[in-house]
């Protein structure tokens, strides 16, 4: 099934001298010269009204709001795809842990000054070790993610036990993450309630760059160095900052149950984090689970401290610390690209519903690593947002089934391959600055938001009065 994105994903650069005309690879009414007022007929007025009601993504493709139901999606999936098998899931856990242990054993015993006397060679080999361990560590993270969605097995006790152990080993507060992540799934694409990579609105972005909202109409191209710097910060610190300050989640905590969000905002020392039982991310009934998550982190932290004390902190950094950073990198990259793309819409709360929000995601491809080490989390994420309890080993078949229902609303970049994954990171960083309605959109269409940017790429921002 083809994507609604442009076939070649051409980044359209706007003409700096005339930013009032949206660009598009395919002809559109916006490309045609408009008649003068003296020659305007009723038919041309109707045509202009039709144009103004259209919704255009960043690349100028016309967007239609999904009109199918969740029942249609679920009914299209073969019944056996819903089956969860504990032994199958446990096999993958033991397989990944086996490879983590084996790789450590081989490097610890055979990449030593005695066996590899040339130090630069040892440095290169141990750097390779951190990368490979980071890949398999991410695989374990994904399996714990399956546990959090109860897709691991029919047993909630087994799911939460395995998830708590695996996530704690990766310094992830399992139950704390599970609860907030569940809220993300319940409100995907909702600009006011989503919990993961909520895009900035126009005024938020303007505040960040120190500009007035109307000034974003002008081309103020961000330098590649600035884009690269922001990406590095995101990849290094995005995950811990999300846990500590809820940095990419919504900031509407006043609406949380029991008044727990009164006066609290995302940011340092605001109480909005994944470790505090009284955080507005949670309800009072969740407090014990948040504490249990913290206990898991304390146990693993103590073990790491003992290992560092006994074997040296530099060894601990190489054995665990750098692979841990690689896991964080992959986690942030995967999540960012699942929910950030020039073709994806976001919705105001009064226009949003679950079926629409779940379609505001995109599948990509990451080759052998994506399929066999990351357990398909990159390749089947659209399906995952519709039915998150389907285990990953049935996700490909289920994805094929729902494409028939979604039609043009199913988005994929699988044709770009694993190199396209990295290119998409750069493209999204350059193109996806903030979201706003298509200029002139009316009614329900005005509640559907698309990415715009100041880099002169794609449809220009809406013109605002100064």
pLDDT of residue 267: 84
Assigned domain for 114 exists: yes
Nearest to 159 by CA among 388, 370, 341, 380: 388
In whole angstroms, what is the distance from residue 460 CA to residue 202 CA?
Answer: 13
Q: How far apart are CA 323 and CA 315, in angstroms?
A: 12
- The answer to whether position 7 is within a domain reads no
- Asked whether residue 153 is domain-assigned, the answer is yes
Terminal CA-CA length for the chain = 44
Contact partners, residue 244, CB within 8 Å, separation at least 6: 268, 273, 274, 275
The residue written with tokens 């794609």 in the block is 458
Place of tokens 């449809």: 459
Q: Which residues pair with 190 in a beta bridge?
A: 347
Question: Measuring CA to CA, how many Å separate 77 from each of 81, 89, 352, 395, 406?
Answer: 7, 20, 24, 10, 12
Helix (H) / strand (E) element for 163: namely helix 156-169
- What is the per-residue burial (b if ≥16 Cβ within 10 Å, else e) of 168-193? bbbbbbbbbbbbbbebbbebbbbbeb
Encoded tokens for 294: 């913290």
Is 28 a member of any domain? no
Contact at 8 Å (CB) between 50 and 28?
A: no
Residue 171 covered by a domain = yes
Q: Does a structural domain hold residue 344?
A: yes
Beta strands in 334-441 (DSSP E): 346-347, 434-437
> Structural domain of residue 141, as residue ranges?
70-210+296-452
Sheet architecture: strand order including 448-452: 346-347, 448-452, 434-437
The number of folded domains in the chain is 1
Residue whose C-alpha is closest to residue 137's, from 110, 109, 167? 167
User: Which spans in 247-394 are helix H?
Assistant: 287-311, 313-316, 322-339, 354-358, 367-368, 381-386
For residue 267, being part of any structural domain is answered with no
pLDDT score, position 12: 54
pLDDT value of residue 317: 98
**Residue-by-residue pLDDT tens, the chain, 466 positions:** 444 444 344 445 554 434 333 333 333 333 333 333 333 444 443 444 444 568 999 999 999 999 999 999 999 999 999 999 999 999 999 999 999 999 999 999 999 999 999 999 999 999 999 999 999 999 999 999 999 999 999 999 999 999 999 999 999 999 999 999 999 999 999 999 999 889 999 998 888 877 777 777 665 677 888 889 989 999 999 999 999 999 888 888 888 777 788 888 888 877 789 999 999 999 999 999 999 999 999 999 999 999 999 999 999 999 999 999 999 999 999 999 999 999 999 999 999 999 999 999 999 999 999 999 999 999 999 999 999 999 999 999 999 999 999 999 999 999 999 999 999 999 999 999 999 999 999 999 999 999 999 888 999 998 886 6
Q: Provide, for the chain, the percentages of residues in helix, strand and coil under a 3-state DSSP scheme, each rounded to the nearest 5.
A: 55, 5, 40
Q: Three-state SS for 346?
A: strand
How is residue 409 written in tokens?
């609303």
* Torsion angles phi and psi, residue 152, rounded to 5: -75, -45
**In the 8-state DSSP scheme, what is residue 35?**
P
Q: Is residue 439 part of a domain?
A: yes
What pTM value is reported for the model?
0.86
Q: What is the largest CA-CA distance in the chain?
A: 89
Q: What pLDDT shows up at residue 220?
A: 66
């Amino acid at each position: 099934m083809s994507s609604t994105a442009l076939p070649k994903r051409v980044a359209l650069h706007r003409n700096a001298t005339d930013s009032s005309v949206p660009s598009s690879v395919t002809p559109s009414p916006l490309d045609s010269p408009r008649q003068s007022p003296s020659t305007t007929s009723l038919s041309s007025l109707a045509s202009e009204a039709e144009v103004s009601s259209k919704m255009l993504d960043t690349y100028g493709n016309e967007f239609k709001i999904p009109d199918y139901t969740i029942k249609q999606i679920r009914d299209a999936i073969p019944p056996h795809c819903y089956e969860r098998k504990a032994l199958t899931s446990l096999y993958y856990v033991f397989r990944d842990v086996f490879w983590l242990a084996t790789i450590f054993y081989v490097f610890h015993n055979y990449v030593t000054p005695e066996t590899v006397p040339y130090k630069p060679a040892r440095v290169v080999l141990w750097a390779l070790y951190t990368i490979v361990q980071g890949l398999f560590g991410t695989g374990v993270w994904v399996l714990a993610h399956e546990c959090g969605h109860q897709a691991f097995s029919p047993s909630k006790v087994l799911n939460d036990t395995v998830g708590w152990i695996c996530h704690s080993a990766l310094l992830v507060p399992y139950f704390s993450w599970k609860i907030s992540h569940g809220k993300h799934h319940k409100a995907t694409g909702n600009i006011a309630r989503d919990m993961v990579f909520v895009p900035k609105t126009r005024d938020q972005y303007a505040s960040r760059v120190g500009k007035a909202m109307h000034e974003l109409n002008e081309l103020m191209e961000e330098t590649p160095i600035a884009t690269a710097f922001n990406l590095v910060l995101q990849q290094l610190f995005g995950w811990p900052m999300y846990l500590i300050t809820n940095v990419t989640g919504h900031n509407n905590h006043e609406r949380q149950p029991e008044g727990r969000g009164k006066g609290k905002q995302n940011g340092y020392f605001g109480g909005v984090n994944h470790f505090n039982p009284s955080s507005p991310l949670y309800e009072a009934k969740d407090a014990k689970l948040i504490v249990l998550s913290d206990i898991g982190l304390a146990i693993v932290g103590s073990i790491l401290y003992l290992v560092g004390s006994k074997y040296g902190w530099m060894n601990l950094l190489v054995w665990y610390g750098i692979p841990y950073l690689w896991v964080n990198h992959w986690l942030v990259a995967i999540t960012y690209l699942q929910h950030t793309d020039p073709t994806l819409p976001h919705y105001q709360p009064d226009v949003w519903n679950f079926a629409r929000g779940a379609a505001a995601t995109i599948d990509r491809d990451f080759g052998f690593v994506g399929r066999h080490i990351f357990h398909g989390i990159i390749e089947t994420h659209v399906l995952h947002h519709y039915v998150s309890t389907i285990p990953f080993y049935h996700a490909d078949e289920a994805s094929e089934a729902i494409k028939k229902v979604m039609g043009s609303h199913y988005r994929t970049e699988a044709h770009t391959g694993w190199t396209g994954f990295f290119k998409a990171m750069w493209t999204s960083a350059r193109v996806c600055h903030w979201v706003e309605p298509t200029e002139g959109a009316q009614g329900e269409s005005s509640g559907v938001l698309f990415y715009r940017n100041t880099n002169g790429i794609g449809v220009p921002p809406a013109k605002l009065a100064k």
